[in-house]
Structure 1
Amino acid sequence: MNKIAVIILAAGKGSRMKSDLAKVLHKVAGKSMVNHVIEAAMQVASGHIHVVVGHQAEKVQKEIQKKHNVQFAFQKELLGTGDAVRVALPGVDASIDHVLVLCGDVPLIKKKTIADLVSTHLHQMADLTVLAAKVKDPTGYGRIIQNNDGQLLAIREEADATDLERQINIVNSGIFCFEKGFLESGLGRIQNNNSQGEYYLTDLVEVAVQNKSKTLVKITDDAEQVMGVNTIEQLTRINTAFHKASNELS
């Protein structure tokens, strides 16, 4: 049995929310966003969930601990998603073979979507698998660049994309599954020579391609469930989507 650990990224400030509350503590249907994500993750890794905290770390931990027994890692400086995962890795059990990375601000993610991503990753024996979404309007998202065999070649941010690449409507969700050995070695190779001075998890795609490691893309047509929350307007939209989905199920 392949053992899976989950790392949930929940350290960000969420300054665009224009709120004193840490981003992941904003509520959807009366429950903080990060707790929605933890509940979805429990299907694949109930005993191996690690939450990376940073901004308002104590408040975030307190809120999570009311409902869940998870492990925490502290990101002292917010140096990007790659750094956040690097901070959490030492706490991951030595018996773990694969690591799923989720975002604490994607509260509509479904258990089945996570389980399908992990299952595809394991069956195809991939080193890196990204969850991508097919969207009507890809503006603002990182585009998924693939070859004819479906291998992931790059995740191209909009600012760096060519006119042709901007027409691609399959975009990065920020959710990944990694073979642990590849993840550990790859994180040691990524650089922070970008405008933000941050270590990006997406740079591991370039490492994988250089290594000739196996990369996969798992695509969901349900883009709404991988929609992140960066503004109060998006939070309102997510709440509306959540209630609509609940009504359809009842």
Structure 2
Amino acid sequence: MTGSVCAVIPAAGRGTRLGLDVPKIMLEIAGGVTVWHLLYRRLLPYTGHVHVVVAPEAEGPFRRLAADEIGRGTVSVSVQHEPTGMGDAVFGASGHWESHDGILVVWGDQANLSETTVRRVVDAHRRAPGLTVSLVPMPDPYVEYEFAGGRLLRVRQSREGDDCRSGGLSDVGVFCLSTDGLETAWKDYLADAARGTVTGEINFLPFLAYLSQNRGRVVNPVHVDDPDEARGINTAEDLEFARRVHAGSAK
């Protein structure tokens, strides 16, 4: 599938930080529209397929939610049996994306992601395959990207206890990677990767720095103007914000 891109959504979280009994990707935002519907509308025009990774208990409910899309063959689903991190979710599903030239990794709670950003990231990837990251300066970033000499040196993560600097570059939860040699690079990375000091997980974001420094992948930054695009659904306030923004959406 020359030039094709497969969107991969790791969405195996349980929504526990929000005190919910439903994964964040299945949260209703407005009028029957869920986070899933918003993401699908934005991703499908620019990718050949959308693959979603869910937790075991969410597989049945999600398959019912996305039954029409699955029936059309534009969506597939797999299960991450243990909550071992985003990287394991993405690479555990490699059989679904390895035949494509690129994967567009999108976090499953990015309700405010714009179609324009998706298009720009995919277009940038097709012009220069390697590692494309959407970046936006944030007054209080949840993660922060450090660059030097065109290389990605480090990704600070507040969830792992790192200090992120005010005004630092964060991401909007969208990353496009060439699949050429990607699975091998992940396996090599796992051999020496440090686990997060808080979560105990081997995180996906430091792998991007590994690809830049150890595999020589050129980083293609796509700069986003609106910091609200970076606002995933991590708190009750985030959910209410998304519902206000998308109040006019209809299924």
Q: TM over 0.5, yes or no?
A: yes
Stretches (4+) displaced over 3 A: 66-69
Which of 55, 65, 68 is equivalent to 2:67?
A: 65
- Runs of 5+ in structure 1 lacking a partner? none
- Tell me the residue number matched to 1:160: 162
Question: Aligned-pair RMSD on alpha carbons?
Answer: 2.1
SS at match of 1:51: strand
Q: 1:182 to 1:145 in 2, by over 3 A?
A: farther
Which residue identity lines up with residue 220 of structure 2 in the other structure?
L
Q: 1:152 to 1:217 in 2, by over 3 A?
A: farther
What is the alpha-carbon distance in structure 2 between the residues aligned to residue 22 and residue 56 of structure 1?
7
Contact 1:138 1:170 survives alignment (8 Å): no
Aligned residues: 236
Which of 128, 132, 149 is equivalent to 1:124?
A: 128
Q: 1:118 to 1:145 in 2, by over 3 A?
A: same
- CA shift at 1:7, angstroms? 0.4
> What is the TM-score normalised by the length of structure 2?
0.85
SS at match of 2:246: helix
- Tell me the residue number matched to 1:15: 16
- Tell me the residue number matched to 2:53: 52
- Runs of 5+ in structure 2 lacking a partner? none
Write the mapping of 1:22-101 to structure 2, written as runs, cut at 5 A: 22-30=23-31, 31-46=33-48, 48-54=49-55, 55-67=57-69, 69=72, 70-92=75-97, 94=99, 96-101=100-105
Write the mapping of 1:95-244 to structure 2, written as runs, cut at 5 A: 96-125=100-129, 127-135=130-138, 137-139=139-141, 141-149=142-150, 151-158=151-158, 159-161=161-163, 166-188=165-187, 189-190=189-190, 191=193, 193-195=195-197, 196-208=199-211, 209-243=213-247
What is the alpha-carbon distance in structure 1 between the residues aligned to residue 247 and residue 229 of structure 2?
13
In percent, how many aligned pairs have the same letter? 24
- CA shift at 1:35, angstroms? 1.8
Which residue identity lines up with residue 71 of structure 1 in the other structure?
S
